[in-house]
Chain A
């Protein structure tokens, strides 16, 4: 069964601090994504990657960096966390063929105080 594992599942961070959210997939998928979910906005794409050592900007990349050190791992980095980045973050993976199912992790609830 396809699996996407996120860590931590929840985190409280201080404004101005650095936060790293991690994602690991065992699906042998090339594509990985980071989405953020806010009430009333659905899911919005932050960064994505289609190959190791390469990342692309999504629709709302400002304030975020991403790292794809291997096919299995994809991290989201908040260098200077801000209150507005309080949200639930989802990692996802999928195969190369268009229309292939996208599998999501269980999410990381980030609270910036």
Chain B
């Protein structure tokens, strides 16, 4: 089942912050975040494993609430290069093949 991402789109001015949410109706083993620019392949940002961990990558961090089956991606002091579509990919607990199911994406536009 496809995870649900929100919001669908967001426009930020440089320096502003944003939060992108990803929720699933299934128990999750891991959540993977990717950013995709138009016409390009997705670029890996980070993986979060069950256990409620939080990770950071430059000014981008994420959390994973295993009990709520939710993950949030935090972008702080956004830069123009952050523009793109962000996808969360989820791997369900017990899934043996490591395949990911992706949400519909959140389009982020950062303007000067």
- A and B form one complex: no
Chain A residues engaging chain B, CB cutoff 8 angstroms: none
Chain B residues engaging chain A, CB cutoff 8 angstroms: none
